[in-house]
Amino acid sequence: MSSPLLSKRRIAELPGDFLDSTGRIFATFGPPAQDSGNLSFGVQTPAGRFFVKTTDPDAAVLLPFEERTVLLRNAAALAERCPHPAMPVLKNVLESPVGPVLVYDWVEGELLRRNPGDPASAHDRFRALPVTDIVAALDVVYDLHGLLAGAGYVAADFYDGCLIYDFAAKRLQVVDLDHYHLGPFTNRMGRLFGSSRFMAPEEFEHGAVIDERTTVFNLGRAGRTFLGDADAGEEGFRGGERLYGVLEKACAPDPDDRHESVKRFLEAWRTAIDGQLVPS
């Protein structure tokens, strides 16, 4: 069964009003939980469930409305250029009076964003899974970034709050790739967008080059975070000595000391896990 949400290319009304007329809004995502200026919805329609992402022109946030619409178009272009099982499927892009409206398949699961002091959080429950489950989930995310790097993309604003894990299906997906950049770029902000727990030193340095080696650092921090404690060194790391060595190299402060590309990181990662891991 089809839906105007999938068939239309342009709407005259505001996105919220249009969604009310095409289905049932069962979830809304925006301020104060999000500070991006974006406004998103979970929508139930006869054609299924969808995640619909827009941006609010009146939001009082750092980026002006015009730049936020550019980021949404960037996310749409990336999804169309590099489809992958670790990303939600983009079904449609509608033009509205307040910019593009991105329609994705709904993704089941829970955000892995850290919630300190809550041992029942999705973040802590994911970290407590058997090592083999965590490694398998991370491997799919690393594979996605290998595809993106091959297409020229550099990660930006990647952290655990961009990861959704379905505990029943054992499936990890990456969302919010709006800031990913096509090609290396120069840091003109000083502190870039993102979580300091996952950011490379150059993401804090005005004038520094942000390139594929920055992505390698971000991916390395994900591995260090979920298989141990990113700031505690090898103590408590659950993935074994060889895998720790791969992630330690990825997280080297000097970009020249890291794996030179996501492809090389992925090769080292897979060599380290081949035949080494024991479920725990």
**Residues 141-178 pLDDT 10s:** 999 999 999 999 999 999 999 999 999 999 999 999 99
Cα 25 from chain centroid? 24
Give 231's pLDDT tier (boundaries 50, 70, 90).
confident
The predicted structure's pLDDT at residue 277: 56
Mean pLDDT score of the chain: 93
Residue 195 CB coordination number (10 Å): 16
The candidate with the shortest Cα–Cα distance to 268, out of 243, 237, 251, 233, is 243
The predicted structure's pLDDT at residue 238: 93
33, pLDDT greater than 60 = no
Cα separation, 65 vs 226, in Å, equals: 35
Residue 157 CB coordination number (10 Å): 21
Give 275's pLDDT tier (boundaries 50, 70, 90).
low
The predicted structure's pLDDT at residue 279: 45
pTM of the predicted structure, to 2 decimals: 0.94
% of the chain residues with pLDDT over 70: 96
Cα separation, 234 vs 228, in Å, equals: 8
For 110-153, what is each residue's pLDDT tens digit? 999 998 888 899 999 999 999 999 999 999 999 999 999 999 99
Measured CA distances, 207 to 187, 190, 203 (Å):
5, 8, 10
236, pLDDT greater than 90 = no
Across 78-106, average pLDDT: 97
Which residue segments constitute the domains of the chain, with CATH numbers given? 4-105 (3.30.200.20), 110-273 (1.10.510.10)
The predicted structure's pLDDT at residue 88: 97
Residue 40 in tokens: 């998103």
Across 48-62, average pLDDT: 92
Q: Scanning the structure block, which residue is given the tokens 């009310």?
A: 20
280, pLDDT greater than 60 = no
278, pLDDT greater than 70 = no
Residues in the chain: 280
Give 276's pLDDT tier (boundaries 50, 70, 90).
low
For 37-49, what is each residue's pLDDT tens digit? 899 999 999 999 9
The predicted structure's pLDDT at residue 254: 98
Give 262's pLDDT tier (boundaries 50, 70, 90).
very high
Query: Does residue 236 or residue 85 have the better pLDDT?
Result: 85
b/e 78-110 (16+ beta carbons within 10 angstroms → b): bbeebebebbbebbbbbebebbbbbbbebbebe
The predicted structure's pLDDT at residue 35: 72
34, pLDDT greater than 70 = no
